[in-house]
Structure 1
Amino acid sequence: MSLSHGQYAIQCQLCEGDPKVKWNCLDCELLMCSKCKDKVHSKFKSEKVHRIIDIKDVGQQSKCEEPEERVSSSPTNVKLKNIKEYKTRTVDISFLAVSLDGSLWIGDGDKEEGFHLFTSYTALQNVKLVGDKVKVLSSFNIEVYDIAVTPSNDILLAIEGSRLKQIKAGSNKVSDSVYFVELSYITSVHVTKDGRVIVGGGKVIVVMDTDVKYLARYEEDENKKPIFDGTIWSTTSTLNGNIFVAQPYFNPRVVVLCKGDVINNYTGPPSIKSQRRFNPRSVITTPMDHVIVADCFNHSLHILDNTGHLLTTYNTKDIGIEYPRSLTITMEGPFAVLYIGCRNTGSCEDSSDTGQLYKTNIMGC
């Protein structure tokens, strides 16, 4: 799923009050206003050797080199605020995307067979949140694995087959896109901020530009061994050019790719592994260039830096959100808004309103 475009406004992580973030400490992994840089960060031990850059240069620092094996202690104080819950007609919200007009694309991806009178298809819906209700603008009975929004507000659909489908902005018609890959099926699609299209399927990742020129193909590592050994489920990218790929089953992990090679494999912290199996279902990039991983089975969000190292985890069950399956993020004024789609935890036999959708303001990542 792609990020919305435009300038991100985020809060200082030290005072948590000044939205005019100016500085980024690469060693502390903190974003700061000028006042906190001079008055607070200057008192940190070894501050004189810390690398502090202008926020405008975030992402320009190349981190594609092989990273050290480490788990960072996190200065990130992640908070979810103003949590709003919505009921939908989907049993599971398997994917999410937000359009440039603020409407959402949601669905469970499963095509319904036969004729169902007065039923809005849950496979794919374009919806708008009105008050505490979900208004369906349009719906499509088409099997979908993943969706992404382009810079021109078109919707790209990953479906079974070798070509991405599309819904052009302002249209309610599903048609073929220009994006074709030599894969038997496509299970993941992501659009970068500059319009590059990343597709995954058949244990392969392909990167294309807007002219459908192949820029990269990830299938084998430098030792000629397959990179992926399970289904590719979700993909995102960071400003330094890294690609994050979620593989939730068989060998569950998040693979981090850069310049033709694997630079990291995130398999979850030991505390997660000792409880339930790590289940990374969705990955999304934040305004601070971190990556959030939705771990469905453990009711948690994992926040990684842009090379795939753990910063912190957030237990969503503590705030009543269970089985997070899909994520998308956008900006509303100065606030970063995270949408979380979940699996229905109860029986859907007696109610058509089953799928859980949450809207939150996320701070600290």
Structure 2
Amino acid sequence: MAFGSSIQKGQIPVGCALCDGGHTIQWKCFDCNLLMCERCRDGVHLKIAKDHRIRNIKDIDEHERYPEAITFSDNKCEEHKGNACCLFCKTCKKLICPICIAKVHNGHQLIEDGEHNDKRETLKARQKYAENIQRDLVNAKERLRQIKTDENTKYTKTRKEIIDHRIEVQCAFDKLVEEIDRNWKEINKNIEQEQVRVEKIHKKADVEKNAFEVLIGSRDFAKFFDEVDQLKVSVEPIALSVNYKHDKFGNVPKYIHGKIDASLIGTLENRPIIAQQNKIVFRVLKYFTTDLKCLHNMFAFPDGSLWMYDNSKQILQNVKLEENSCKVISSIPSVKINGMAFTTSNSLLVSTRGTQLKLINIRTGQITDSKYDLKSMFPSSIKVTVDQKIILGAVTAGKLFPVAGRRVVIVIDKEGNHLKEYEYDNKNKRLFAYPKQVTITNDGNIFVIDKLDDTSRGRVVVLEPDGNVIQVYAGHGNTNSEEPFIPAYILATPNDNIIISEDTTCTLHILDNKGQIILLYNLRNIGIKLPYSIAMSTRGTIYVGCSTALECPETEKAKLYELEYFGI
């Protein structure tokens, strides 16, 4: 609870210093040391301070935004004029000088300027972290807007196609109805004409029948013989055959019912979105030559520096990228690291040889034990989420292969409590042989690079938060029909796509957040060979750390590339 409350206290929203309208901060006045929005810059500040130095915060570099370390001795004591301050009294909440300590503040809680600057460094890192989150959220909002626009366009098109097809089918039915109507009209006309003719004959026959009856009973013999001769003549044409056949007047055709199925009506099909290569672009901005043999692991820190690990030399370096060179700020030799991630405590959280995760102070390089201990298992990979949960791949002691013991992905909270373990699927089969790398998407899907054997052949297992396997990606036929799929590193982008590097084929496998393939990108096309580790920079670009060929001389050094990208 103390951790949570301290975080809440630290999350103080910074708004425009000149208004309370909640507008986005865009400008800083260096003369007034004020942050302001666009409206206040134009409508307020420039009217009263035209000569002040005002710059867009996007154009302010690290040094300008965060001045050098502050020294208490630069401030004069308010009580003892002329004396420089040396400490901050937290009890009295003021800067004090040596005389103050002796007279008033002895026994109070006193703070040195070093502690103040350490806290400033932590805040700077957290500020960077917050800026990265903000940038990711802006990208996410734009991505959502684009997805909504694209899906709305597809919805409108698909709906129109369905309606158009329904109209076509209705037209076909209407034509059948028209045809049967015409057919019946002709048949009905022929039958009615025959009915009229038969009715006339019927009436004439009825008259003659009555005449026959009268004559048969007549006793007037003269009249009888006269009329009998007349009736004999007229009765002959009345003879009529009533043995009609159906086809005499036409025949109403029989309707053969068509089968109402997808072949007639159509269906809705969910298809994976396959990106076109010309819509996804990678471009080299800069490249650097390191003094390492292989960049097996890499993490871009909020202060702009880069932490790189070479497993072959077992050395961890913190470098600053300057033009086309890597300036080594610090180096930690003889350390075994399986995975590393950034924490809000301004430290690197790393998984090493032991069961307990380590913390590396980025300023001093000091390695200390963290409070996260897996006891009987050894962490193989590590990922810290936005909400400070820690996802770990872990195995029990012993040889990696053949597979024995536990192979598990564990989610723990910031206090070290185990929240979830992924080890077996719903058929009680192992999910992993060796969980080498792990990352997570914004919707909680976990992607795990699973190393299958000693040859490093692997696959990517995609899990929903409840542990359901939604995809197992084992490479693509275009690159892995002859070469086995050997995934090296995995990275989730701000737009929730997944990038997997494969150094043996110089390929980036780009998947969506469900593990479906979007694109294969061969980095040889832009001059990059043997890509291994990948990291997202604080500027929104991607770093690609390479390895060197096994047969290359010791003088051969690994390359590092900074790429900008579009479309993912």
What's the TM-score bracket when you normalise by the shorter of the two chains? 0.7 to 0.9
By how many angstroms is 1:11 displaced?
10
Deviation, structure 1 residue 22: 5.8
Q: Report sequence identity in percent.
A: 31
Tell me which of 543, 547, 557 is aligned to 1:339.
Answer: 543
Distance 1:105 1:269, change over 3 A: same
Matched with 1:264 is 471
Report deviation, 1:222.
1.2
Alignment of 1:74-93 (within 5 A): 74=275, 77-93=279-295
Q: Which amino acid aligns with 2:450?
A: Q
Q: Which has the higher helix share?
A: 2
What one-letter code is carried by the residue in structure 2 that aligns with 1:270?
A: G
Partner of 1:46: 158
Distance in 2 separating the partners of 1:357 and 1:89: 11
Q: 1:325: which partner in 2?
A: 532
1:166 lines up with 2:373 in the alignment: no
* Larger RCO: 1 or 2 (CA < 8 Å, sep 6+): 1
Which letter maps to 2:342?
A: V
- Aligned residues of 1:128 and 1:135 also touching (Cα < 8 A): yes
Name the CA shift for 1:342/1:161 in 2 (closer, same or farther; >3 Å): same
8 Å CA contact retained: 1:110, 1:143: no
1:304 aligns to 2:304 (yes or no): no
Q: Secondary structure at the match of 1:45?
A: helix
1:223 maps to which of 403, 427, 431? 427
5 Å-filtered alignment, 1:30-69, equals 41=153, 45-46=157-158
Matched, 1:314 2:506: no
Deviations, residues 201-252 of structure 1 (Å, cap 9, x unaligned): 21211111111111111111111111112x2221111000011111244351
Change (3 A) 1:309 1:27: farther
Matched, 1:155 2:366: no
> When the two structures are superposed, what TM-score results if normalisation uses the length of structure 2?
0.51
Q: 1:266 to 1:159 in 2, by over 3 A?
A: same
The question of whether the paired residues in 1 share the 8 Å contact of 2:348 and 2:362 is answered with: yes
Q: How many residues align?
A: 314
Question: Separation in 1 of the partners of 2:414 and 2:473?
Answer: 30
| Partners of 1:151 and 1:193 within 8 A in 2 | no
Aligned counterparts of 1:276 and 1:26: Cα–Cα separation in 2: 39
Normalised TM-score (structure 1): 0.78
- 3-state secondary structure, aligned to 1:7: helix
2:414 corresponds to 1:210: yes
Structure 2, unaligned stretches of length 5 or more? 1-127, 162-268, 396-406
**1:312 is aligned with what amino acid?**
L
> Please, which of 381, 384, 404 is the counterpart of residue 191 of structure 1?
384
Aligned match for 1:241, one of 444, 455, 467: 444
Deviations 1:130-189 (A, max 9, x none): 111101111112111121112333101111121111113433101111111144322111
Per the TM alignment, residue 70 of structure 1 is displaced from its structure 2 partner at its CA by: 7.0
> Contact conserved, 1:218 with 1:227, CA < 8 A, in 2?
yes
Judge conservation of contact 2:284–2:561 (CA < 8 Å) in 1.
no
Q: 1:28 to 1:345 in 2, by over 3 A?
A: farther
Root mean square deviation of aligned Cα? 2.9
Query: Residue 131 of structure 1 corresponds to which residue in structure 2?
Result: 323
Please say which structure displays the higher CA radius of gyration: 2
Deviation of the 1:350 alpha carbon: 5.3
Q: Which amino acid aligns with 2:460?
A: V
Superimposed CA distance per residue, residues 312-359 of structure 1 (whole angstroms, 9 cap, x where no aligned partner): 111011111112111111341xxx2100111113765352x6011111
C-alpha deviation, 1:83, in angstroms = 3.1
SS of the residue aligned with 1:318? Answer: helix
Return the structure number with greater strand share: 1
- Counterpart residue type for residue 316 of structure 1: L
User: Hey, what's the Cα distance between the residues in 2 that align with 1:297 and 1:28?
Assistant: 36
